[in-house]
Amino acid sequence: DNLRKHYVSPRQWLRKPRPPIQAVDGVSFTVAKGETLALVGESGCGKTTTAKSVMRLIEPTSGSVQLDGEELLGLTKEQMRLRRRDLQIIFQDPYASLNPRLRAGDIVAEPLRNFGGPTGPMSPAERRERVQWLFARVGLRPESAAKYPHEFSGGQRQRLGIARALALNPKLIVCDEPVSALDVSVQAQVVNLLMDLQAEFGMAYLFVAHDLAVVRHISHRVAVMYLGHVVEVADRATLFAAPRHPYTEILLSAVPVPNPRTPAKRILLQGDPPSPANPPTGCRFHTRCPLAQEICKQQRPELTPRDTSGGTQWVACHFR
Ligand code: SF4
């Protein structure tokens, strides 16, 4: 709720004041039990900073993050460490996120050693049994628990990351672009695996992505970010069929159409994104928006609900 992360430029250390970089500026959303909320937007829009702030892997500047009604931002380091039992993450890079000196089985067993199993402390034999079960659940052969990460392919490493995140039966898994470093065919397997696991165990995903085809496949709702703000939130069907915010429209129009005979309504986005160190006043999209008017430069549009048949669509625009 109203999450902010402003980075202070290192130059401020050198006593040459620079404005802080407003990577995330007043972002609010909810993720329901068993739901996948996708966070999308172009590079630098603040989606990964938002996801890591939710985990407190980055300390937010202000705002509120609640899990099951409990405020996380006021917790001490030790309290937060214990809360991570319910809050796990799958990282983008399956090559950098696994300790190369640990065997695969030990990597997956690490959360079990730190926290005990889903129902309490575990003996080494119970831990071994759960690791074998987790390997089977994510489609890895249990014998491969003795291997080191470099002996696995990229897709298999990401399966290891998923097994590690799943070990404690968390309530929410933050998926930080979990398939963007993988081949397309492997991407599909990993996305389908995540969906199967959610159907079986009922955890929620906060799914950070820039690939809209993947988002369309996996998400229940989508939040679109632009320059540190959430500009539209809607259920998947509504967002892809009837986007309201001009930025969402432009983003969706960039998705290639498979059939070359289908006329593509491509809208080109003009210019580069402004610097988050000096964002435009009012609506941050006004410097690139084809519909911008005078009011857009002066007044920030609030994210407000619109009537739709079926789902709920929230849009931050003066005219949509
Ligand atoms: Fe465009 Fe104005 Fe709407 Fe912003 S508020 S998206 S500038 S029309």
Query: Which of ligand 1's atoms lies nearest the C-alpha of 290?
Result: 1
CATH of the domain at 249: 3.40.50.300
Residue where a domain stops, chosen among 121, 145, 169: 169
Residues 138 and 174 in one domain: no
pLDDT tens digits along 142-192:
999 999 999 999 999 999 999 999 999 999 999 999 998 888 888 999 999
91 inside domain: no
Binding site membership of 285 for ligand 1 (Cβ less than 6 Å): yes
Residues 79 and 212 in one domain: yes
Cα separation of 189 and 159, whole Å? Answer: 10
pLDDT for residue 93 = 87
Residues 23 and 106 in one domain: no
Binding site membership of 317 for ligand 1 (Cβ less than 6 Å): yes
Its domain, for residue 141, covers 96-169
187 inside domain: yes
Binding site membership of 164 for ligand 1 (Cβ less than 6 Å): no
pLDDT for residue 54 = 94
pLDDT for residue 135 = 95
31 inside domain: yes
pLDDT for residue 131 = 95
22 inside domain: yes
Residues 126 and 265 in one domain: no
Residues 146 and 47 in one domain: no
Binding site membership of 291 for ligand 1 (Cβ less than 6 Å): yes
Residues 188 and 64 in one domain: yes
320 inside domain: no
Residues 209 and 291 in one domain: yes
289 inside domain: yes
Determine the residue of 225, 226, 293 to mutate for testing ligand 1's pocket, defined as the one with the most ligand atoms within 8 A of the Cβ atom.
293
Residues 40 and 153 in one domain: no
Residues 141 and 219 in one domain: no
104 inside domain: yes
Residue where a domain stops, chosen among 140, 169, 198: 169
Residues 41 and 190 in one domain: yes
Going by alpha carbons, the residue nearest to atom 6 of ligand 1 is 317
Q: Give the total number of structural domains in the chain.
A: 2
- Residue ranges in the chain modelled with pLDDT below 70: 10-17, 263-264, 308-311
ipTM over 0.90: yes
Residues 77 and 138 in one domain: no
141 inside domain: yes
Residue where a domain stops, chosen among 114, 136, 169: 169
Binding site membership of 243 for ligand 1 (Cβ less than 6 Å): no
- Whole-model pTM: value is 0.92
Binding site membership of 251 for ligand 1 (Cβ less than 6 Å): no
Determine the residue of 286, 288, 304 to mutate for testing ligand 1's pocket, defined as the one with the most ligand atoms within 8 A of the Cβ atom.
286
Residues 282 and 185 in one domain: yes
Determine how many CB atoms are found less than 10 A away from the CB of residue 316.
23
Dihedral, 277, 281, 285, 290 alpha carbons, nearest 10? -140
